[in-house]
C-alpha cells in the first residue's frame, strides 16, 4: 500500500514526535516501533503516529510502514532520509525557525508559473538537501493560506468541472470535503514540499484563502455569505479538513490524548464525517461571545516559546461586539504569553495577520472601523470600503488591537530578550521595531514574510511604500485622533523593507542574541539574502 500524502512531521519535543499521514485505505501505520490505526473521513484515511521514547538532542532517521510494508521513503527517492531531530538541554538556548505565508502551488501552466516566479520554500528544500542535519531549522512555521480554496489552478478547476454535479455551487471554488482533499494533495504533493514537510517540525495556522478570500471580515460580510446555499457545505468542508490536515498536528501528544474531539474520532467505527460537521458548526458559530473550538496553540522550543494566535476563525462579529478573538480565547493567549517568562529568552507570537501594519494603513483601518460602527449612510459607505479594500487586520478590530498591544507591553516588562510577532498575508515582507514607554531591555518587533509563492500586483508596491512614509503617518495619526482613536501605547518604525517577491524568512537565536534574515530565489534557484536585521544583542 502507498501513502496518499505525507508523512508530515508535526509537533516534536525532547522525547516525542507526532507524524501525520494519509493512506489510500484503512491501515495500521508504524514509525520507529510506534503505531496508530487510521480513522476515516468521507472515504479518506488518516493517522497521527505518536512516536515516544526518543532521546533528547538526537537525530532519528525514520521510515513509514503501512500494514508492515515500507511506504516511505519511496523507492528511488533522490532526497536524503527523513529524520526526527529532538530538542534537549544541549540545544535549549539555540533556535532557528523559518516562516512565511501565502504559498500558491505550481500550476503546470508556463505563463502562470513564470508570473508566480520560483517557490521560495521549494528553493529552501533544495538547499536543505545539501546541508548537514545539525544545521537544519528547528521548525517551519506556515502562517496562513496553505491552500487556496477560492483561487484554483487550471488543473484544479478541470478536476472540479469533472466532478461538480450541482449548478448551485460556484464553478471555480472548492466546496466539499472531497474537493478539499484533492486540493491538499495538489498543494502538498510536490516532491520538494513533501520531503521538507516530512523532515522539519511544522506548525500551521490558517488565513482567509484556506476558506475564502476576506473570510470573517465583518458581520455584514458573514450575513451576506451565509445567504449562499452552498456556504454551510463550504464551512463544514473547510473547517473539517483544516482540523484534519493542519490543526491536529499542532497539538502535543498530551494535548491529543486530552482532546475530546480527537478521541471521539478515534473511537468511531467507519466514517467520522458527521462528527466533523458538528465540530465545524461549533467552531464557526458564536455562543455567548465566544467560539466553540480553539485553534490557537503553543509550542515550547527550549528557552524560546511560540504562541500561535488564530486571527481568522476566532473573530467575534455576529454579537455586535467586534473582536479579533473572543474573551475566553484571548485570556488563554494572554496566559500562555505570560506563563513563566523568566524561563524565556525569545517569545514568538504567530498571527497570520500583521499586528503592526505600515502606520498610515493601520490608522486608515482604525478610521474605517470607527466610521463603519456609525448608523446611516456613513456607516454603510464605510462598510463597503472595508470589504473592497480588505481593511480587516488587527487595527480594524481596535479594542482587540489595544488588548494585544497591552499584552505584548506587559510581556516586555519581563525577562525575554526579544518579542517577535511573526505574520504574513500582506504580500510584502518587512521588519518593524515597536517602541513602548518604559519596557526595559526587551526589544519588540513585527516580522512579516509574504508571499512564499504568489504574485504581487504592481499597484501594491508603491501603495505600501507610500504607507510607510513618516510624513504620511503623522497626517493619518492626526486624522485618526480627530475621528475618535485613542492614543496608541507604542510607536513603530520600519527597519527593513518593504521587500516584494517570493520570500522565506529565518529567525535565528543563540543565547539572548537574535536576528532575522529574509531570502529570495535567484533565477538559478539559489536563495540570496535581501535583508538582515539584528533583533537583540
Q: pLDDT tens digit string along 201-238?
A: 999 999 999 999 999 999 999 999 999 999 999 999 99
pLDDT at 440: 79
Is the pLDDT at 353 greater than 80? The verdict is yes
pLDDT in tens, 87-107: 999 999 999 999 999 999 999
Q: Where in the chain is the domain with CATH 3.60.21.70?
A: 92-359+400-455+484-534
- Residue 531, beta-bridge partner list: 518
Closest CA to 224 of 318, 323, 325: 318
pLDDT in tens, 483-533: 999 999 999 999 998 999 999 999 999 999 999 999 999 999 999 999 999
Per-residue burial over 355-393, b = 16 or more CB atoms within 10 Å of its CB, e = otherwise: bbbbbbbbbbbbbbbbbbeeeeeeeeebbeebbeeebbb
Under DSSP, the state recorded for 125 is H
240, 276 contact by CB (below 8 A): yes
Closest CA to 322 of 359, 348, 286, 350: 286
Backbone phi, psi, residue 161, to 5°: -65, -30
Closest CA to 52 of 12, 92, 7: 12
Give the separation between CA 132 and CA 258, rounded to whole angstroms.
Answer: 37
What is the grid cell recorded at 156? 484544479
Q: Percent of the chain having pLDDT more than 90?
A: 89
Grid cell 522550543 is found at 301
Is the pLDDT at 470 greater than 70? The verdict is yes
121, 202 contact by CB (below 8 A): no
Backbone phi, psi, residue 421, to 5°: -95, 115
The full 3-state SS of 372-389, as one line of letters, equals: HCCCHHHHHHHHHHHHHC
CATH no. for 92-359+400-455+484-534: 3.60.21.70
Whether CATH 2.60.40.380 fits 1-90: yes
- Computed over every residue of the chain, the mean pLDDT equals 95
Report pTM.
0.97
441, 465 contact by CB (below 8 A): no
Give the separation between CA 182 and CA 493, rounded to whole angstroms.
Answer: 43
243, 180 contact by CB (below 8 A): no
Q: Where in the chain is the domain with CATH 2.60.40.380?
A: 1-90
Is the pLDDT at 165 greater than 80? The verdict is no
Grid cell 455567548 is found at 288
Is the pLDDT at 163 greater than 70? The verdict is no
Give the separation between CA 326 and CA 287, rounded to whole angstroms.
Answer: 10
pLDDT in tens, 361-413: 999 999 999 999 898 999 999 999 999 999 999 999 999 999 999 999 999 99
Amino acid at each position: 500500500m502507498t501513502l496518499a500524502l505525507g508523512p508530515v512531521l508535526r509537533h516534536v519535543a525532547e522525547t516525542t514526535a507526532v507524524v501525520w499521514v494519509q493512506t489510500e485505505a484503512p491501515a495500521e501505520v508504524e514509525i520507529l516501533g510506534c503505531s496508530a490505526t487510521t480513522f476515516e473521513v468521507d472515504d479518506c484515511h488518516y493517522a497521527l503516529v505518536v512516536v515516544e521514547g526518543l532521546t533528547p538532542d538526537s537525530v532519528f532517521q525514520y521510515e513509514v510502514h503501512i500494514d508492515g510494508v515500507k511506504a516511505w521513503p519511496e523507492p528511488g527517492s533522490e532526497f536524503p532520509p527523513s529524520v526526527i531531530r529532538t530538542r534537549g538541554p544541549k540545544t535549549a538556548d539555540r533556535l532557528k525557525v523559518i516562516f512565511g505565508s501565502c504559498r500558491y502551488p505550481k500550476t503546470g501552466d508556463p505563463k502562470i508559473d513564470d508570473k508566480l516566479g520560483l517557490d521560495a520554500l521549494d528553493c529552501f528544500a533544495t538547499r536543505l538537501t545539501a546541508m548537514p542535519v545539525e544545521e537544519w531549522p528547528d521548525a517551519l512555521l506556515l502562517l496562513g493560506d496553505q491552500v487556496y480554496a477560492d483561487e484554483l489552478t487550471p488543473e484544479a478547476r478541470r478536476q472540479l468541472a469533472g466532478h461538480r454535479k450541482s449548478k448551485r455551487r460556484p464553478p471555480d471554488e472548492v466546496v466539499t470535503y472531497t474537493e478539499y482533499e484533492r486540493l491538499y494533495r495538489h498543494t502538498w504533493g510536490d516532491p520538494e514540499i513533501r520531503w521538507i514537510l516530512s523532515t522539519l517540525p511544522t506548525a500551521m495556522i490558517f488565513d482567509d484563502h484556506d476558506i475564502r478570500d476576506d473570510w470573517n471580515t465583518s458581520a455584514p460580510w458573514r450575513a451576506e455569505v451565509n445567504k449562499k446555499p452552498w456556504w454551510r457545505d463550504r464551512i463544514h468542508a473547510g473547517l473539517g479538513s483544516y482540523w484534519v490536515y493542519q490543526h491536529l498536528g499542532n497539538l502535543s501528544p498530551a494535548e491529543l490524548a486530552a482532546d475530546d474531539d480527537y478521541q471521539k474520532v478515534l473511537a468511531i467505527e467507519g466514517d467520522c464525517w458527521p462528527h466533523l460537521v458538528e465540530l465545524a458548526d461549533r467552531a464557526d458559530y458564536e455562543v455567548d461571545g465566544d467560539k466553540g473550538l480553539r485553534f490557537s496553540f503553543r509550542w515550547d522550543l527550549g528557552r524560546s516559546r511560540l504562541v500561535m494566535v488564530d486571527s481568522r476563525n476566532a473573530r467575534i462579529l455576529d454579537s455586535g461586539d467586534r473582536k479579533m478573538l473572543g474573551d475566553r480565547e484571548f485570556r488563554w493567549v494572554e496566559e500562555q504569553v505570560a506563563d513563566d517568562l523568566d524561563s524565556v529568552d525569545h517569545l514568538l507570537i504567530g498571527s497570520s495577520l500583521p499586528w503592526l501594519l505600515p502606520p498610515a494603513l493601520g490608522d486608515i483601518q482604525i478610521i474605517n472601523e470607527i466610521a463603519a460602527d456609525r448608523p446611516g449612510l456613513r456607516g454603510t459607505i464605510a462598510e463597503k470600503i472595508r470589504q473592497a479594500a480588505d481593511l480587516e487586520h488587527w487595527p480594524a478590530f481596535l479594542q482587540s488591537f489595544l488588548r494585544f498591544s497591552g499584552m505584548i507591553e506587559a510581556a516586555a516588562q519581563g525577562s525575554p530578550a526579544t518579542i517577535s510577532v511573526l505574520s504574513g498575508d500582506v504580500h510584502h515582507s518587512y521588519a518593524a521595531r515597536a517602541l513602548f514607554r518604559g519596557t526595559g531591555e526587551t526589544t519588540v518587533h513585527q516580522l512579516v514574510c509574504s508571499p512564499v509563492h504568489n504574485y504581487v500586483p504592481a499597484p501594491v508596491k508603491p501603495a505600501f511604500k507610500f504607507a510607510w512614509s513618516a510624513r504620511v503617518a503623522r497626517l493619518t495619526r492626526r486624522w485618526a485622533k480627530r475621528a475618535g482613536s485613542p492614543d496608541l501605547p507604542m510607536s513603530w518604525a520600519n527597519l527593513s523593507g518593504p521587500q516584494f517577491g517570493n520570500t522565506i524568512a529565518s529567525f535565528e537565536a543563540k543565547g539572548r542574541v537574535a536576528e532575522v534574515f529574509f531570502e529570495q530565489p535567484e533565477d538559478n534557484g539559489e536563495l540570496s539574502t535581501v535583508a538582515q536585521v539584528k533583533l537583540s544583542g
